[in-house]
Chain A
Amino acid sequence: MMLLAAINPHSLAFLLFALLACGFAIAVVMTSNIVRMAFYLTLSLGATSGLFFLAGAEFVGAMQLLIYVGGTLVLLIFGVMLTAQARFISMKTSGAEWVMAAGVGSALLLLLLYAGFSVESWNKPRADLSSLSIFDARTSTPIGLALSGVRVDQLDEPSEQLRRGMSGYLFPFVIISMHLLVVLIGAGYMARTKRFAGRLAVEQLAVVAPRARGPRSSAIMGGIVSGVFVNMLLAVLCFGYWLSAAAKAEEQGGMSKLLGQVAPYLQSAADWLCPVLGLLFLANVLMLLVVYGWQKWGVVGLVLVTILQALAIGNSGLHPAVAWVFLVIAMAPVALLIVLLCSGPRPTVWEQMD
């Protein structure tokens, strides 16, 4: 009876998983073969997920399996197998690298230990072990709700001030998903094979007719440069007006005097108009640069940006005459560019762009 009672099965299981995790982590460091490293890393991470399951955090444990053991390691193996050259297949570690790695590793370990021991409730054993039950494992719903903006575990927070801060993780969640989307699109863009075929064709074309791709005709260059200048001027004006409106009370410089002249016309505009217009002008400049880079979608983007500008100006309650002036100034380089691109002898410049 003493023997059976003396052994705590949870501690035993914890020790087993912890030993597996640590042992295989050391094996990762000690091995020189990179694929074996990946294999040991899988086992180490799998044992960590076992620790999560043991602690009753089933959702986190399954997450660990899916993300770390599954996704990351498959990717790692892809990377290893596709890029591994002979000198990486079995890596030799020099003494200096060992020292540096030991320094960094022990510093991180110290930080973790300090953080772990500074948490009050982790230091003393839970008073009522018998109340620990499977219900502690039902964490997936609170986690899901927290990710969509409601911290159900903090609804009882007495302080109104604190409760507002406990509104969940919707914002980081959205940021991360946007980030992942961008990465996905980028990966898809880079993995495109058609792109290379197109470029090859263009290069062959360039060999046959060198003038088609050569330095663009001076008229188009002039159009682009003038567009850049007009846009820059407008952007500077816009931002200047926006900034001076913010700091109007203090300064009475020449710039704000000039702006004071046109202020009655601009006063009626909504507050958000100036920064939005300024950003759109910057986008315009960017698009012009893209056009200079011989890309067709720059022209399409230019037209879209101009339409956005028209929408913004039309909805801002600006004086109609001023709105028209703005619009014409913004449209002029675009229209000029389109005319230049599409005129001239066939094949036109538009047809020759990528």
Chain B
Amino acid sequence: MQPAARLGQATVALFFNDILHRALGSWVPLDSWLGFILAAGVHLFLLINVVAVGALIFIWMERKIAGRIQDRLGPTRVGGKFGWLQTLADGIKLVAKEDITPKDADPLLFKLAPYVSFASSFTAYMALPFANGWAAQNINVGVFFIIAVLGLEVFGVILAGYASGSKWSLFGGMREAAQVVSYEVPIGLCIVVPVLLVGSMNLVTIGESQAGLFTNWLILHDPFTFAVSFVYFTCAVASVNRAPFDLAEAESELVAGFHTEYSGLRWSFFFMAEYGSMFLVSGLAAILFFGGWNGPIPIFHILGWAYEQGETTWKVTGYIAQVAGVLNFILKATLGVTVMMWVRWTLPRLRIDQVMTTCLKYCVPLAAFCFVGAMIWKLNGWVSPHDFAPNTLGHRFAEVREDWVLRREPMASGQEPVANENAAVLGDHAPLSYSSLISSSQEASQ
């Protein structure tokens, strides 16, 4: 059995197979697919809890924050202090409500639309890493996959708008479609900037290349990434349909927009999808610009607890470092969600033409300008804050080639400046390392 350093899916599968093999004997071989199914089930269970429990907490948070911003208290009674069980009470109320389908609705599409929205929001979590290597699927093109899947959420909204058989819903659905399709352009341009600087679309690689002091975070890489991170956040707020861009459900004009005709549990699915997407885009912002699961000061690297590159044996301290990374990541993503709530209860809703103007006249040119700027900065190797930061355990801003993170180690005297080449971010599939590539090419040249 392979030593399990990281909680990759294959490792979990091997763990299950090992248990089953001991319990049932030769019925279950060690490489059985049963373990993979169980491992997939565990991942699904964990992720669905992130979305559902996350929505539970964020809705409560939203009500508290809205209350504070409007000089109220928000929920105070349910569940003792702070009204922390308020969302659960809401949930029970929603479950108890009658599930109504309007007479003019297209019954099949009307019933399926909330699940389409929720499923696309949930599917995007498949590629989201929560710590170094801790992703349900460490997809090679993770960033791209998340953007592609997140764009499908609008499909559920359009279907809901169309199938409700109501003018309000149709207006809301069409507004949402126009808005999301437009904002996919600047958000794609913004995401290209970190991908360009790091040289990989793998989210684990992007996050891990920012390990070390906070000066390694991509938002501090140069002025252009600093600007583009704000553009990204604006577009992210718009693409998950939050105020001030929540035209699809503009209460003052469209009753409730695309979910006017929905009630009960189906209605709440839309909200779970919305809060899930909020957390997702905030987490993406954390990985792309704010160092991902790496804290501002690499405490666990200084203590020597964290897994070093190429380390494959499991250790308790490494596990603790990974869990701390998860907490770090969730904290950063929650901060992003909080800012979104703050924005929602502060700014008035934009008109549709203002939304389009923001996208096409401001966000797209800004993102394109920053893209070119960051490219020139990287090409010329101009100074970045991480050039002046103290060299913490060799964690300068990492160079990445083809998903292999190269870290410049502090050079020993008289030695060749050889990069420490290990497949640290590959998880448990790491038969090929950069050093083997280099040595093989050297042999070939000799």
Residues of A whose CB lies within 8 Å of any CB of B are 1, 4-5, 7, 9, 33, 35-36, 39, 42, 58-59, 61-63, 65-66, 69-71, 73-74, 77-78, 81, 133-135, 137-141
On chain B, the residues within 8 Å of A7 by CB distance are: 33
Which B-chain residue is minimally distant from A12 (CB atoms)? B33
Judge whether A58 and B29 touch: CB under 8 Å.
no
B416 sits at the interface (CB 8 A): no
- Interface contact B158-A1, CB-CB below 8 Å: no
A81 to chain B: closest residue by CB: B162
Select B108's contact among A4, A36, A65, A140, beta carbons within 8 Å.
A36
With A36-B106, A74-B181 in contact, do A62 and B141 touch (Cβ < 8 Å)?
Answer: yes
For chain B residues 216-237, which have a beta carbon within 8 Å of chain A?
none
Smallest CB gap from A60: residue in B: B141
A47 to chain B, nearest CB (A): 13
Q: Are B158 and A77 in contact (CB under 8 A)?
A: yes
- Minimum C-beta distance from A316 to chain B (A): 35
Which B residues touch A66, using CB under 8 A? 144, 147-148, 151
Given contacts A66-B144, A135-B432, contact A4 B181 (CB under 8 A): no
A65 CB contact (under 8 Å) in B26, B34, B148, B170:
B148
B154 contacts which of A59, A74, A134 (Cβ < 8 Å)? A74
Provide 18 A-B residue pairs closer than 8 Å at the C-beta atoms, listed in order of the A residue: A1-B27, A4-B27, A4-B28, A9-B37, A35-B162, A36-B109, A39-B109, A62-B145, A62-B148, A65-B149, A77-B162, A81-B162, A81-B174, A134-B429, A135-B429, A135-B431, A139-B140, A140-B140
Closest chain-B Cβ to A37's Cβ sits at a distance in Å of 11
CB of B248 closer than 8 Å to a CB of A? no
CB-based nearest A residue for B10: A134
B59 at interface (Cβ–Cβ under 8 A)?
no
Given contacts A62-B145, A77-B158, 11 further A-B contacts (CB under 8 A): A5-B29, A36-B108, A65-B149, A66-B147, A66-B148, A71-B151, A74-B151, A74-B181, A77-B177, A81-B174, A141-B402
Q: Which residue of A lies closest to B37 (CB)?
A: A9
CB-based contact A4/B32 at 8 Å: yes
Query: What is the chain B residue whose CB lies nearest that of A49?
Result: B148
Shortest Cβ distance from residue B46 to the other chain A in the assembled complex, whole angstroms: 20
Contact bitstring B19-51, A, C-beta under 8 A = 1, else 0: 000000011110011101100000000000000
Q: Is there an interface contact between B177 and A74, defined as CB atoms closer than 8 Å?
A: yes
Q: How many A-B residue pairs have CB under 8 A?
A: 91
List the A residue with the shortest CB-CB distance to B201: A140
* Residues in chain B near residue A59, CB distance under 8 A: 140-141, 144
- Assess whether A4 is in contact with B106, with CB atoms less than 8 Å apart: no
Leading 5 A-B pairs by shortest Cβ distance? A9-B33, A66-B148, A65-B148, A70-B151, A62-B145
Q: Is B246 an interface residue (CB 8 A)?
A: no
Q: Which B positions have Cβ atoms within 8 angstroms of A?
A: 26-29, 32-34, 36-37, 106, 108-109, 112, 139-141, 144-145, 147-149, 151-152, 154-155, 158-159, 162-163, 170, 174, 177, 181, 201, 402-403, 429, 431-432
CA distance A62 to B188 in the complex (A): 14
Question: Which chain A residue lies CB-closest to B112?
Answer: A39
Find out whether the CB atom of B34 lies under 8 angstroms from the CB atom of A4.
yes
- Return the chain A residue nearest B181 by Cβ: A74
Per the bound structure, the CA–CA distance linking A150 and B25 in Å amounts to 52
Chain B residue with the shortest CB-CB distance to A42 = B155
Closest A residue to B432 by CB, please name it.
A135
Separation of A354 and B34 alpha carbons in the complex (Å): 73
In the assembled complex, which residues on chain B have CB atoms less than 8 Å from the CB atom of A78?
A: 177
- Closest chain A residue, CB of each to CB of B27: A1
| A-chain residues with CB within 8 Å of residue B147 when the two chains form the complex | 66
**B32 cross-chain contacts in A, Cβ below 8 A:** 4
Whether A70 contacts B148 by the Cβ 8 Å rule is yes
Q: What are the residues of chain A within 8 A of B170 when measuring CB–CB?
A: 81
Contact flag A133-B429 (CB < 8 Å), given A33-B106, A74-B155, A140-B140: yes
Distance in Å from the Cβ of A313 to the closest Cβ of chain B?
35
B142 to chain A, nearest CB (A): 9
List residues of chain A with CB within 8 A of the CB of B106: 33, 35-36
Contact status A58-B177, CB under 8 Å: no
Query: What residues on B are CB-neighbors of A141 within 8 Å?
Result: 402
Interface hub of B32, B158, B431 (most chain A Cβ within 10 A): B158
Which residues on the A side are within 8 Å of B201 (C-beta)? 140
Bound-state Cα–Cα, A73 to B151, Å: 11
Residues of B within 8 A of A62 (CB): 139, 141, 144-145, 148
What's the minimum C-beta distance from A131 to chain B, rounded to whole angstroms?
10
Residue of A nearest to B26 (CB): A1
Known: A35-B162, A36-B106, A39-B159. A138 touches B140 (CB 8 A): yes
CA distance A73 to B403 in the complex (A): 33
A1 to B21, CA, bound (A): 11
CB contacts (< 8 Å) of B403 on chain A: these are: 138
How far apart sit A7 and B28, CA to CA, in the bound complex (Å)?
12
Q: Please, which residue of chain B has its CB at the minimum distance from the CB of A188?
A: B360
**Which residues of A sit under 8 angstroms from B431, Cβ to Cβ?**
133, 135
Q: Cα distance A137–B144 when bound, in Å?
A: 14
Give CA–CA (A66, B108) in the complex, Å: 25
> How many angstroms from the CA of A148 to the CA of B330 in the assembled complex?
38
- CB distance B152 to A69 under 8 Å? yes
B174 partner residues in chain A, CB cutoff 8 A:
81
Complex Cα gap A39–B37 (Å): 29
Q: Hey, which chain B residues are within 8 Å of A39, CB to CB?
A: 109, 112, 159
**Chain B residues with CB below 8 A from A65, complex form:** 145, 148-149, 152
Q: Which residues of B contact A74 (CB under 8 A)?
A: 151, 154-155, 158, 177, 181
> Taking CB as reference atom, which chain A residue is nearest B173?
A81
Most-contacted residue by chain A among B28, B32, B155 (CB, 10 A): B155
In the bound complex, CA of A58 to CA of B112 (Å):
27
A245 to B: closest C-beta gap in Å: 44
Q: How far is the CA of A9 from the CA of B29 in the complex (A)?
A: 14
CA distance A73 to B28 in the complex (A): 44
**Nearest CB in chain A: distance from B29 CB, A:** 7
Cβ–Cβ < 8 Å partners of B154 in chain A: 74
B141 touches A140 (CB 8 A): yes
Given contacts A9-B36, A58-B140, contact A1 B29 (CB under 8 A): yes
Question: CA–CA, A141 to B181, complex, Å?
Answer: 27
